[in-house]
Amino acid sequence: MTEEIAVIGAGVVGVSIALELARRGHEVTLIDRAGVAAQASRGNAGAFAFSDIIPLATPGVVTKAPKWLLDPTGPLSVPPAYFPRLLPWLVRFWRASWRDRYAASVSAQAALMGRSSDALERLVTRHGLERVLRREGQLKLYESAAAYRADAHERAAQAAHGVRTVPVEGLGALAEIQPGLSDRFTHGTFAPDWLNVTDPALWTERLAELLVQAGGTIRTAAVTALERGPAGVTLRTDGADITARRVVVAAGAWSHHLSRTLGDRLPLETERGYNTTLPMGAADVRTQLTFAAHGFVVSRIGDRVRVGGAVELGGLDRPPDMRRAEVMLDKARGFLPTLGSEAGEQWMGFRPSMPDSLPVIGPAPGAAEVIYAFGHGHLGLTQSAGTAELVADLVDGREPGLDLAPFRPGRF
């Protein structure tokens, strides 16, 4: 039997794509090796970070990176043994930080954020999902006036692309937004349009339920290769093979293994993110808190508190280094003195990252019946609804209303 469309990957991006395709009348099968929301979509911070338009590769980042990389528990690290394997990606990352390329990435990211924000509102209205959102904004915190001024370029870029942020100065003003902060914080910016889900795993699982209600099918299988043929594309799996007329690859950090079987060697790396989720009552968190200089955030997940973030570029196979979760939690207890000391649940997840911080969205260069939709980094949840509409437009042959050239698979 030949399926009409197979979507590989049941994280929030893949589930959102499958749901949008089913809504438009397509026969859709969603396939994942471990099930719905089994990876990064389960343990992330739960943010729709539409104001986060600045890529990781910023001008001058190469002067900061050595200091970060030498600190195994800092906001950005690379295990020494992994460095030689990562070097080609780092060269592309450095090139992406050149001012002209950086400016182009900011513009493309802002455009995708705008489309994704609008798409999310359509999704929420269509399916009655408002009750699982938190419209509480985000507070980015600084420990000095100098640190605040150092991010002026970021605020200027955000303002130029219509992103609203409000300056906050003084501990009293900060406390009006988030009580209980350490007095080490003197400045902040508040992003009022920032949204969170109550729980990212439950959000993705709810979208999967809606997919099944719309007639979609969900299967558990590990897809190991894609092969083109006269009947469509054959998905080689660890069980029975599947043939589909169209295929969408949205398998997150594993996507490049599948693209390689079609001859496309894309520079996808793995940002390994760490967090600790503390039990109910750990703190009175009223907005998402971002400690930018330290590379982590604090957010509410259900009735619990999640402390996590950082970037470890270490691939898929290395064991987790849970010191990173412990360091962030120790810092968070200093930044929020009222944060509970109860034991929490530690987690590490894989975030698929491209050197320019832009996802890959578009047909495979040599196989128009295969569409790639991966590489969103830490913005998968944020850009999931927008990516779903764009992929569905490509499948339907519609004009997507957004220039997809910056996201094309062949840009590297």
Find how far residue 128's CA is from the centre of its chain.
Answer: 23
Let me know the angle formed at the C-alpha of 46 by 196 and 9, rounded to the nearest 5 degrees: 130
- 261-303, pLDDT tens digit by residue? 999 999 999 999 999 999 988 999 999 999 988 989 999 999 9
Which residue ranges form the domains of the chain, and what is each CATH number? Answer: 1-58+97-133+195-268+355-412 (3.50.50.60)
Could you report the per-residue pLDDT of 210-257, keeping only the tens digit for each? 999 999 999 999 999 999 999 899 999 998 999 999 999 999 999 999
Q: How many CB atoms lie within 10 A of CB 184?
A: 12
The pLDDT value given to residue 2: 63
Q: What percent of the chain has pLDDT over 90?
A: 86
3-state secondary structure 59-99: CCHHHHHHHHHHCCCCCEECCHHHHHHHHHHHHHHHHHCCH
Here the tokens at position 93 are 């990352």
Packed helices 200-213 and 12-23: angle between N→C axes, nearest 10 degrees: 30
> What span, in angstroms and rounded, lies between the C-alpha atoms of 65 and 60?
9
pLDDT tens sequence across 374-386: 999 999 999 999 9
Tokens of 33: 């090796």
pTM of the model: 0.96
Residues 114, 60: Cα–Cα separation, whole Å: 27
- Radius of gyration over alpha carbons of the chain, in Å? 21
